[in-house]
Structure 1
Amino acid sequence: MNKSDESKELDCSNAGRGVWLVKLPKYIAKKWLKAQSDAEVGKLKITKYPGQKSQVTLSLSDTTLQIDAEEKIPKDHRFDVQAVNKQTLGVFSHNAEGERSDKLYMEGTIVEKLECRPYADQTYMNMKAKSIKIAAQPKRKVEQLDTVVTTFKPISDHKHNIEYDRKKKTDGKKSRTDKTAVMDMLFNAFEKHQYYNIKDLVTITNQPISYLKEILKEICEYSVKNPHKNTWHLKQEYSHYSAEKKEQKKEEEKADKMSESDEDF
């Protein structure tokens, strides 16, 4: 067996040792955690009677009681002893000092369970009354203010809401132009380019977007497929408009060239 296999074994040399499993109140555990490692925290007393269960009592030391002295706790406690039946419980430890090892040690077998309980003396009753009073206090209190308190809270808003409000304010400032004039602006724009998105058309016409869409639906079609997705273009029945304009422009250019040739003579 090599050293690595040996380190993973369980040392059961103390398996026959009996161990108590003790449940302590939180107020004792808090004080013991703050006590020094070499301090005496209390005394355990075991009284045995023939034919009866052993009586176990705990008396906390003055050193323990002086830790957080404003928080007074009972000094004397008793243990309710319960035997462990129909189950096997053990205590295991791991040596973390020196070389790192995975070896586990069984420190003993739990033979009895004990629950620490205080005696119902005046100190205990005062402690419970205080805890009940604290628990009953509302988390929020109503206070009467003598002066007006001005508070400024940050407003969280989504980006699309901000854009909508900005667009709404901008559209509200725009005045509606005559429909015929808007259509002329649109026809002139579509002479230069065949496809436009709505933002560009709003910039060109300077009209409210809702009003502009009403006119666009009459003379244009909306593309929902690539390669011109989400753009507007003229309907087929209005496509002759741009063609007539181009013919007129060609005729004008032709007339200009003829006039220039006449001047050469």
Structure 2
Amino acid sequence: MENKDSYLETSKAERSMWLMKCPALVSRSFKNPRPSSIPTSSSPPTPQAVAKVILSIDPRVSNDDNDSSSPQFTMELVGAEIGDVPKRYSMDMSKDLVPMSVFSESSQGKLSVEGKILNKFDMRPHDENIENYGKLCRERTNKYMTKSRQIQVIDNDNGTHMRPMPGMMIATVFNEKKKTPTKTSETKRTRRDRGEMEDIMFKLFERRPNWTLRQLIQETDQPEQFLKDILKDLCIYNNKGTNQGSYELKPEYKKASDDSNP
């Protein structure tokens, strides 16, 4: 007898869906929406709307290949729980979209096609919020770069656990001789949180406008490919000129940084 769960459910395969890349601040607010109603024994809680999308079309412009005639998408976050996070964002729609579909897997292991990607968007703070967004990123960077130190009181103050027991010193020396020296460049680096790394990058470019990839790896101790992905979103690469081979912030982020400095 065949197992029905081994089949792929395709009843929703033609449903249109959007793929959106958003900042870490917005992503966290999407993941923790508050219920809009109190659940009862007979009804589950109703999820609260987290954002609304505004589509702007200029009827005076003819429908040609110019970017100015394309529909403009804007997203506004709703709800008081987002705090100081900017509420208005521009959604840049990509035109070179590779055909993609969305799949899901249930707790029982059943696979389903949830729909196909109709539009792909890159989300960025709206021009009117870019200064506040840059200020918020710098504040978070300062918070992450401030090291907190803790003092712990030891209950056992006779120092017994701090002295090596008989035989421990010999074993330690023996193990150190057998260890193979590891090169620093080969040490596996641990990724930080994406939002935390973006804040650190803004702080570094405040200190200096141009950085090479090698300098940023040494400064942040992060994996090379991880840094390249962040630099692709935040920076431009100089192929020529006096700063050839280095990265600098994109104009929209650089403007916010310059305006905030006295």
Q: Where on the TM-score scale, by shorter chain, does this alignment land: which range?
A: 0.3 to 0.5
User: What is the TM-score when the length of structure 1 is the normalising length?
Assistant: 0.45
Highest relative contact order (Cα 8 Å, sep 6+), 1 or 2?
2
Higher share of residues assigned helix:
1
Which structure is larger by alpha-carbon Rg, 1 or 2?
1
**TM-score normalised to the size of structure 2?**
0.46
